[in-house]
Structure 1
Amino acid sequence: MQNNEGFPLVEVSGTPFERGVQHGRAVPDRVRGSIALYRDQLAKRGIDLETIATLARNFIPNIVAFDPTYFEEMQGMAEGAGVAVEDIITVNCRTEMMFGHSALKQAREALDDGCTGLVVLPKGTRDGRLIHAHNWDWREACVDTGIVLKVKKHGDGPDMLMFTEAGTLGRHGFNSAGLSLSGNFLTCERDYQRSADVPLGLLRRKMLESTNMTAAMRTVFGARRYCSNNLMLAHADGEAVNLECAPDEIFWITPEDNILVHANHWISYPARAKLVDLGLLNTPDSIYRQRRVASMLQEAQGKITWETVKEALADEFGKPEGVLTHPAKASFNSVYCTVATTLMDPAAGKMWVARKPYEGRNFVEYTL
């Protein structure tokens, strides 16, 4: 499927390397667009191309140690798109690359990543089906680098349907085992203080390769992380958990009255007592984003529909910095916005994605 209002669907199968080649060949211009975006972001932070390549190569041992097939898939993407593997690594490790280098203290003081995610358990919905949805707030350029990636594993784990950036292993989505995942930016004073281990993008992909929630959570609890991140995990049969991940500790939250909502600040009481939330300096809107979405869902408790969720994720209070973020100036002469709204029904194997939702909620359907 490819729709002028949506994102291209990229279907891959075979060995990891073959899947990577298919990915790169399907959307080479979008892969190059992803590379150009993060080269530009790093250049604005004072990092030249030679240093970018060196930083990328330094991640190879970590990638191979976590899962050698991931590096094979990245090599395939590079070959398929006709780019260097270092460029593919940069895109897959972009958070760690943009904020983790020792020369980037200034960059870490201008953190402006975003996102708002939600899960409604079946008992909270009108039709008795779990709803998992997400607003991805990031650079405006990603409206032209995003893709929907369908990975056919052919028995080697569940199949996956993910929304992600071209040239990456995955971002958020669901699998054929009924597991769904989304992630939001978090930060605290513990970030980037230890040696890098598992990049966040790889961790999310590994979770989506799990056949059940227990395995997915074990992946997170067993991984060393370089920086904070929020992970919202659910299963179509009616369970969900939110994992607020600091580099060395994880704080969990479960749904209240069938509803789970998270934005970009630490919510769990232990986390708020133990950590310094560095993100609120630049994204204080996270506080009202989380509260407003939770309130709108609670008002429809027991009869929440896709339209309820669409309305909640289109809330413009505080415009341009609302749940739905209109294009606005961001750090390092960038433009920030809600790139896409994603709705996931893992039980039905369906995903609906709206590109540039601030221009209109035109949802395109993708099916696993």
Structure 2
Amino acid sequence: MVEPFPLIEISGTPHERGRQYGRKAADRIRKGTSHYFAQLKELSLDAKGVAELVRDYLPVIEAFEPTYIEEMRGIAEGADIPFEDVALLNARTEIIKLAKPEVRARLKTPDEPDGCTGIVALPKATASGRLIHAQNWDWKRECAETAVVLKVRRDDGPDLMTFTEAGALGRCGFNAVGIAITANYLQSDRDYRQVGVPLALIRRKVLEQEHVALAMRAVYCTKKSAANNMIVSHREGVAIDFECAPDETFQVHPQNGLLVHANHFVSPVALGKLKDTGVAETPDSLYRDIRVRDLVQPHIGAISFDTVKTALFDDFAYPWSVCRPPRRNLSNNLSATVAMILMEPASGLMEVAPLPAINREFTSYRLDVEPRRTA
């Protein structure tokens, strides 16, 4: 049996929330940091070197949202680990990639692509009349043992629930007013030329917003270090896919109430302006979105969680499939679909299955939602 992801509930000030988070998820946080530090050690970067890189990057995080520093310090206290370890969990790629040249020269192992397949079905396309937002998260097999579902009760904005690596502030999820986000790896020839905000923190910022306009602004306007794809939706029936280059954002819109995205740029405007350099690492992306769309389209008007699950379980071209079994990727690291996550923000429901290629048991998590606002 594959162990379900634990639910971690926190509340209070940012620092108090962090301490609760660190204490409740300590084992998974330590396991996650140990895994990443073992990899960095192989690349000749020790704890002292990481601490130096984190200190160089802190002003970027603090300028974006100082309370995130408070929350991360609380996590470190609660888990009894160095603050730098928590910061690295929340910004590992940016911190390492933007390191000093003499450090980068030692990092000869290429980045592992964080592959995903995301899907949104608008209310008009679903059987229940409620928006469905879902994804497969493809990443390191080990993260099935280090991820959590984090529920944050806030005094300074809407409550939120996010599926994320333990110790990180956010990944995918939704909030109590029905704003949801998923994210997919992208790579372009513009990446890592500038210092930008860590992607994990942009996603958390989205989930803190009361208005979908401000959530979309956080994705569209925040300067990034590297490309990423983020799908933002709202329970009332809006969804936009943002293909983000570090310095420019492109949009992809639903067709017939359905939006699907994998790990390559599809916006004609984007493809006319930049080079997609990620397909070399994720060639299966070229058909994963096609497979999911083709499996779901015949059910438009009657799409359900089961419809979406069937599509995301697709094993065409196994093991290079939509639902990825544990296998070695092109970087020779053990990769898998770590989790399948389905969300219905209007009802406050999230269902998650760990390692879905070998496990089809879902756990339900719920967030109390705020009533729809009327004029």
TM normalised by structure 1 equals 0.95
2:9 and 2:41 map into 1 onto residues whose CA distance is: 32
- The residue aligned with 2:172 is 172
Q: 2:50 aligns with which of 49, 52, 76?
A: 52
Report deviation, 1:41.
Answer: 2.8
- The residue aligned with 2:370 is none
1:79 and 1:331 map into 2 onto residues whose CA distance is: 37
- The residue aligned with 2:28 is 30
**Aligned to 1:76, what secondary structure does the other structure show?**
helix
1:251 and 1:212 map into 2 onto residues whose CA distance is: 21
**Contact 1:110–1:282 at 8 Å: present in 2 too?**
no
- The residue aligned with 2:271 is 272
1:59-116, Cα deviation, whole Å (9 max, x unpaired): 2111111111100000000000000000000000022135443444765855432011
1:201 and 1:107 map into 2 onto residues whose CA distance is: 24
- The residue aligned with 2:225 is 226
Q: Which range moved further: 69-78 or 358-367?
A: 358-367
**Contact 1:132–1:180 at 8 Å: present in 2 too?**
yes
Aligned residues: 364
Report deviation, 1:220.
Answer: 2.2
- The residue aligned with 1:130 is 131
**Aligned to 2:272, what secondary structure does the other structure show?**
helix
1:153-185, Cα deviation, whole Å (9 max, x unpaired): 03x111001100101101010000110100000
- Structure 2: tracts of 5 or more residues without a match: 368-375
**Aligned to 2:279, what secondary structure does the other structure show?**
helix
Alignment of 1:1-368 (within 5 A): 5-101=3-99, 102=101, 103-104=103-104, 109-154=110-155, 156-194=156-194, 196-330=195-329, 333-368=332-367
**Contact 1:45–1:332 at 8 Å: present in 2 too?**
no
**Contact 1:99–1:107 at 8 Å: present in 2 too?**
no
Query: Aligned letter for 2:56?
Result: N
Query: Aligned letter for 1:221?
Result: Y
Alignment RMSD (CA, Å)? 1.6
2:262 and 2:98 map into 1 onto residues whose CA distance is: 22
Query: Aligned letter for 1:58?
Result: D
**Contact 1:110–1:331 at 8 Å: present in 2 too?**
no
1:286 and 1:205 map into 2 onto residues whose CA distance is: 26
Report deviation, 1:48.
Answer: 2.7
Report deviation, 1:352.
Answer: 0.4
Q: Which range moved further: 166-175 or 327-336?
A: 327-336
**Contact 2:351–2:365 at 8 Å: present in 1 too?**
yes
**Contact 1:45–1:104 at 8 Å: present in 2 too?**
no
Report deviation, 1:5.
Answer: 3.2
1:111 and 1:189 map into 2 onto residues whose CA distance is: 16
**Contact 1:41–1:332 at 8 Å: present in 2 too?**
no
2:144 and 2:226 map into 1 onto residues whose CA distance is: 25
- Structure 1: tracts of 5 or more residues without a match: none
Percentage identity across paired residues of the two chains? 46
Report deviation, 1:330.
Answer: 3.0
Report deviation, 1:233.
Answer: 0.5
Report deviation, 1:320.
Answer: 1.4
2:187 and 2:79 map into 1 onto residues whose CA distance is: 33
Structure 1 residues 8 and 367 mapped into 2: Cα distance closer, same or farther (>3 Å)? same
1:132-170, Cα deviation, whole Å (9 max, x unpaired): 00100000110000000000003x111001100101101
Report deviation, 1:221.
Answer: 2.8
Query: Aligned letter for 1:328?
Result: R
Query: Aligned letter for 2:318?
Result: K
**Aligned to 1:20, what secondary structure does the other structure show?**
helix
**Aligned to 1:227, what secondary structure does the other structure show?**
coil
2:29 and 2:250 map into 1 onto residues whose CA distance is: 35
